[in-house]
Amino acid sequence: MIKIVGVINYIVVIFLNAFTDLGHKIIIQNTIFKVYDSDMQVVLTAIVNALILLPFILVFSPSGFLADRFPKNKIMEYSSVFAVVITLGITYSYYHGLFLLAFAMTFLLALQSAIYGPAKYGYIKELVGIKYISSGNAAIQAATTVAILGGIIFYTVLFEGMYSEDLQTEAEILQAIAPLGWLLVGGSTVEWFFASRLPNKMKEASSRNFKLKRYLSGAYLRKNLKTITRKREIFDAIIALSLFWSISQVVLAIFGEYAKSNLGVTNTIYVQGVMALAGIGIVVGSIIASKLSKHFINMGLVGVGAVGISVVVLFVPFTTSMGTMAFLFTLFGIFSGFLMVPLNARVQYLSSRVHLGTILAGNNFIQNIFMVSFLILTTIFAYNGMDTEVLFYLMSLVGLYLSYRVLQRYLVDTFWAVMKIIGSLRHNYHYVGLENVPKEGAALLISNHVSWLDWILIQLPIKRHINYMMEKDIYNWRVFHLFFKKGGAIPISPKGFKDAFREAHQRLKKGSLVGIFAEGAISYDGSLGEFHRGYELIGSDYNGSIIPIFIDDGVFGSVFARAKPKIQKSFFRRRVITIYYGEPLSPDTSAKELQLVIQNMKEKYEIK
């Protein structure tokens, strides 16, 4: 992906945009932190965050129109010019100690980002294509987060270096740190330089015109909201992202006061540093999410992320050590990466080219409606003296609701994501011939049987769920039964085998994937056992094929395999396991013929 022309420039532009926006926000927040205490600190911090969010609500329709009507690279270029002008105004307000003006300029800087947003994220799909859409989102999320992390550390350290205890008012503090404004100007200027060199990837220009009257009357708003809600999965993804960002905004808004009141921490470097660790976690989580989405957008990671975030937020009020708090915020970031990358990639993937900008602008609109609402509630609670500890508990409840919504749609995907995460800790998987598995339509997947993990190994790189035929006793295992049932597994027993094969036949007729291990048992010595003819009872009158699969000996010697080679592999080395998906065979291929095909695959690949 990095070799694609324009990707490096694009990442630099995204980094500098976030770095500059965050720099001014941190300066204002740190000024508030030094001057105000308790409830007023929470209220003003929430207002700052609201000023950043409001523009995304106000320019929903115009920003979506611009991203669909004009080349996205040009929108980013002209927005960068606007950022240079704004940062010059911010620098002026610093030098003259105009705190209210600097406070208000936060809104203008956010307005530039709001216009920028749909074009910025829509450009990912245009620049890297569907093939790299998860990797592209991971790279942009990582770049944005590194910028936020770097901005927090960079500007907070410089702020503390220029600050002294003699400074009492907002004006005095701003005048003391005024030279930082030129860093904001410099960042915006460099961003403009790189934005002007982004390639135009718009395939076809739109001829639509923007009518101010329709915008002011709300006609565009109603039309665009219908566009967003047309596809249920897109809308559900937007709601999930909105709930996540709402939790994040409240946590970030109240943590400073919580650290000061409950943990006795007054140094902004420590407070901002702990929150910055969430940024490191997001980078790590985004990279992991990209790797786990190598073959398809792994929506199961969303479930893992939602549950993880809920648990972390719940544990924060029970933590009295800044070291443990740092660990929790890092975990929060990792789970955030798991949630954001797949959801953003899925929204972009499902959006048509002509409506991509509108849908991404709507994504920003709804997210910011949620975040502003949550910040208003936070401000009201803080103003009325509610302890920040209670707000953490409330956010954990919101997290549980988010988890419930996500797991309703992605429960089975979440199960497979957990299996993939656990498996990746000990195994390095290689898949050959995945293109032979049909993207749609029926197929009977038949494999050799070398371990208890085989059903997991075969499924991991395939987006479509395989309806495995499995022993009824295993199907009824208490821990896994719900997932087996939701995943469409077909229980089979000596007494009910005819019903099981009949059910498999019906699912193939409906275009599903069905999986079976024709040997009927795990190999004890690694050799290929006799293939039973049972699967022939399924019938061959479905519109599909048989996909032969061979699993190599990489898992031999593990606790999950029965074959124990004389030379055992080191426990500390990850096992390399390769799965080969053969070319499609006719549905009426006999057990003997299929066994010969997989035997030939075994001999061919073992020689290699």
Reduced 3-state DSSP string for 293-336: CCCCCCCHHHHHHHHHHHHHHHHHHHCCCHHHHHHHHHHHHHHH
**pLDDT given at position 547:** 94
Hey, is 227 helix, strand or coil?
helix
Hey, is 202 helix, strand or coil?
coil
* Strand (E) or helix (H) holding 221: helix 219-229
pLDDT class of 567 with cuts at 50, 70, 90? low
Q: How far apart are CA 420 and CA 422, in angstroms?
A: 5
Residue with the larger pLDDT of the pair 220 and 134:
134
**515: nearest Cα among 460, 466, 549:** 466
**pLDDT given at position 55:** 80
Residue with the larger pLDDT of the pair 71 and 208:
71
Kindly report, residue by residue over 346-379, the tens digit of the pLDDT.
888 888 777 777 787 777 788 878 887 887 887 7
**pLDDT given at position 566:** 64
pLDDT class of 236 with cuts at 50, 70, 90? very high
Looking from the CA of 334 toward its CB, the CA atoms found within 13 Å total 14
**pLDDT given at position 313:** 92
User: In the predicted model, what is the mean pLDDT of residues 230-242?
Assistant: 89
Q: Would you list the domain boundaries of the chain? A: 7-198+212-424, 433-607
Kindly report, residue by residue over 243-279, the tens digit of the pLDDT.
998 898 888 778 877 787 777 777 767 777 788 788 8
**pLDDT given at position 466:** 92
Angle, helices 219-229/60-69, rounded to nearest 10 degrees? 70
Kindly report, residue by residue over 373-399, the tens digit of the pLDDT.
887 887 777 767 777 788 888 999 999
Backbone conformation region of residue 520, classed left if phi is above 0, alpha if psi is from -120 to 50, else beta: left
Q: How far apart are CA 523 and CA 531, in angstroms?
A: 12
pLDDT at 343 over 60: yes
pLDDT at 109 over 90: no
Residue with the larger pLDDT of the pair 221 and 412:
412
**Sign of the CA dihedral with 17 first, then 22, 28, and 31 last:** negative
**pLDDT given at position 595:** 92
**pLDDT given at position 92:** 92
Amino acid at 472: K
Query: Which pair of tokens denotes residue 454?
Result: 């085989």
DSSP 523: -
pTM for this prediction: 0.74
- 384-396 in b/e form (b: 16+ CB < 10 A) is eebbbeebbebbb
Average pLDDT, the chain: 84
Query: Phi and psi dihedrals of 471, rounded to 5?
Result: -60, 140
Cβ neighbours for 313, distance < 8 A, ≥ 6 positions apart: 247, 251, 332, 392, 395, 396, 399
User: In the predicted model, what is the mean pLDDT of residues 103-107?
Assistant: 84
Class of 7-198+212-424 per CATH? mainly alpha
Hey, is 399 helix, strand or coil?
helix
What 454-457 contacts at long range (C-beta under 8 Å, 24+ apart), as own/partner pairs, is 454/517, 454/551, 455/515, 456/416, 456/419, 456/423, 457/423, 457/429, 457/551, 457/555, 457/577, 457/579
**pLDDT given at position 34:** 78
Contact present, 76 and 198 (Cβ < 8 Å): yes
pLDDT at 548 over 70: yes
Query: Which pair of tokens denotes residue 233?
Result: 């999965």
User: In the predicted model, what is the mean pLDDT of residues 28-49?
Assistant: 75
**pLDDT given at position 226:** 81
Q: How far apart are CA 351 and CA 84, in angstroms?
A: 32
pLDDT at 608 over 60: no
Q: How far apart are CA 20 and CA 233, in angstroms?
A: 34
User: In the predicted model, what is the mean pLDDT of residues 327-348?
Assistant: 91
